[in-house]
């Protein structure tokens, strides 16, 4: 099938394009410079001309801290822009897969969040992504909203790369223990996203994240251990590390839907990404 990927130059967009191409699909992956989703007329023209069978919207404002002081800009991309893509897909009668986030939840739960749990974002980024979910659901009848979490992979800034750099530069790093989530390798997520794009009858919200759960501290320990980097990881708390945006304390994603894709364990994602990095470096 022909698949149109917005945000095609980003981490997930690149991964989706690579997986879909490997599976034999005809892929059109467009960067922000090639397709600005805040311009509805442009989006509509591009989708109409491309004649895809499905659109995967990976375009997003992902600066969580920056959104606190630029919420209108985040909304323009994550909410209004998402609506533009959804309406253009609906006009062309094609399926839409839209990416969303664990940040739509407040983090107060202590068991994995499922699709029907009440949403209550604690920051501007989460509010903008939730508004995008509403735009998509209102505009399209053949859509899937895929919430994921703690994404890492090639082609974009992420925690795994950051901790590797710090670990090689320092003897010690401080990492929080009081935020728990589901680390997700972009390559694993991309497999699930393409699968969902292929299934026209599965509509609504899906959770897709790395299996299991850990803290940022535990993720850092795993990454440095697997990479063979000798650096001590010191536990700290969110209160001690000042960040502009509040993060949900517990954002582990589970699912209540039988048709939701099941991703490998987050540890497998770390191993896979480090192996990929080794090949690219060598």
133-138 long-range contacts, CB within 8 A, separation 24+: 133/82, 133/98, 133/100, 133/104, 133/205, 134/79, 135/79, 135/80, 135/82, 135/83, 135/86, 136/82, 136/83, 136/85, 136/86, 136/96, 136/98, 138/83, 138/86
The yes-or-no answer on residue 217 being catalytic is no
Q: What pLDDT, on a 0 to 100 scale, did the predictor assign at position 201?
A: 82
Q: pLDDT per residue over 21-52, tens digit each?
A: 999 999 999 999 999 999 999 999 999 999 99
The CATH topology of domain 2-158+183-211+253-265 is Rossmann fold (3.40.50)
* Per-residue pLDDT band at 280 (split at 50, 70, 90): confident
Q: pLDDT per residue over 185-198, tens digit each?
A: 999 999 999 999 99
Which of 75-84, 220-229, 232-241 has the weakest average pLDDT? 232-241
Q: What pLDDT, on a 0 to 100 scale, did the predictor assign at position 241?
A: 83
Mean pLDDT to the nearest integer, 1-18: 98
Integer Cα distance of 247 and 240 in angstroms: 14
Q: Please list, residue by residue across 178-209, b when 16 or more beta carbons sit within 10 angstroms of its beta carbon and e when fewer do.
A: bbbbbbbbbbbbbbbbbbbbbeeebeebbbbb
Integer Cα distance of 126 and 124 in angstroms: 5
Q: What pLDDT, on a 0 to 100 scale, did the predictor assign at position 76?
A: 98
Q: Where are the domains of the chain?
A: 2-158+183-211+253-265
Please identify which of the residues 103, 125, 143, 273 carries the catalytic annotation: 125
Q: pLDDT per residue over 65-109, tens digit each?
A: 999 999 999 999 999 999 999 999 999 999 999 999 999 999 999
Q: What pLDDT, on a 0 to 100 scale, did the predictor assign at position 282?
A: 75
CA angle 176, 101, 57 (to 5 degrees): 140
């Amino acid at each position: 099938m022909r698949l149109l990927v917005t945000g095609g130059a980003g981490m997930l967009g690149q991964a989706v394009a690579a997986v879909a191409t490997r599976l034999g699909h005809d892929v059109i992956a467009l960067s922000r410079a090639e397709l600005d989703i805040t311009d509805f007329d442009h989006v509509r023209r591009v989708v109409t001309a491309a004649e895809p069978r499905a659109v995967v919207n990976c375009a997003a404002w992902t600066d969580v801290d920056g959104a606190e002081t630029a919420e209108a800009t985040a909304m323009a991309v994550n909410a209004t822009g998402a609506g533009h893509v959804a309406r253009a897909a609906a006009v062309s009668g094609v399926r839409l897969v839209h990416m969303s986030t664990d940040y739509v939840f407040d983090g107060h739960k202590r068991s994995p969040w499922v699709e029907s749990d009440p949403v209550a974002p604690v920051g501007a980024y989460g509010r903008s992504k939730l508004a995008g979910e509403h735009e998509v659901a209102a505009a399209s009848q053949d859509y899937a909203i895929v919430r994921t979490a703690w994404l890492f992979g090639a082609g974009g800034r992420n925690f795994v790369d950051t901790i590797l750099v710090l670990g090689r530069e320092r003897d010690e790093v401080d990492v929080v223990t009081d935020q728990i989530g589901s680390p997700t390798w972009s390559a694993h997520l991309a497999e699930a996203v393409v699968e969902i794009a292929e299934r026209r009858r599965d509509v609504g919200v899906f959770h897709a994240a790395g299996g299991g759960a850990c803290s940022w501290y535990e993720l850092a320990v795993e990454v440095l251990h697997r990479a063979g980097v000798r650096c001590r990881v010191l536990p700290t708390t969110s209160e001690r590390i000042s960040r502009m945006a509040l993060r949900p304390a517990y954002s582990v994603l589970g699912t209540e839907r039988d048709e939701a894709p099941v991703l490998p364990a987050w540890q497998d994602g770390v191993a896979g990404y480090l192996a990929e990095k080794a090949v690219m470096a060598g």
